[in-house]
Structure 1
């Protein structure tokens, strides 16, 4: 019974952490700060800013590559932060699939 109670408490803690991480944000910059992406720690992009000085209609591919790299970095930062928070809650213990995050 004690083990079940501990598992339920851990699951409740994980659910609360997931809600918190869904609102916490990370920021990524690319092209020397001329592209900025903000994302939540659950992977939702919330903001994208592009400095007009890097817009070149003749080189859309370059801008696409910069955007993709900056967005991927923001999502990676969010995942790292989420993993770190989950590790704190679980004491580093791996959870079975479907339990928590």
Structure 2
């Protein structure tokens, strides 16, 4: 096993990972709940960048429903963002023969 070659491969992978993370930060997606009444925008870096709430669901007498819809949309947006990030990072480690748990 050539240590220098392995170190060079690791440096290349680190560079690709950094580029992929930058790319993910630039990607956005929207996720809705309540039939589109609450929409959350999130980046591939799990940063919430916007929340839109349709005026027709704002009811001072039913704040619990609004809170639930917002929470649901945020949770779904973060889950999709994490899924996208895992897929992109997984492409980098695919075929490297890493032990279980060492992939991204």
TM-score relative to the length of structure 1:
0.90
Verify: 1:32 aligned to 2:39, yes or no. no
The CA deviation at 1:12 is 0.5
Pick the aligned partner of 2:23 from 20, 25, 28: 20
Partner SS for 1:5: helix
Structure 2 distance, partners of 1:27, 1:75, is 10
Higher relative contact order (CA 8 A, sep 6+): 1
Structure 2 distance, partners of 1:85, 1:73, is 18
Structure of greater Rg: 2
Structure 2 distance, partners of 1:27, 1:84, is 18
Structure 1 distance, partners of 2:102, 2:37, is 39
Q: CA RMSD in A?
A: 1.5
Counterparts in 2 of 1:33-52, with a 5 A limit?
33-52=36-55
TM-score relative to the length of structure 2:
0.87
The CA deviation at 1:47 is 1.1
The CA deviation at 1:41 is 1.1
* Structure 2: segments with no counterpart, 5+ residues: none
* Structure 1: segments with no counterpart, 5+ residues: none
Verify: 1:53 aligned to 2:56, yes or no. yes
Pick the aligned partner of 1:86 from 57, 66, 89: 89
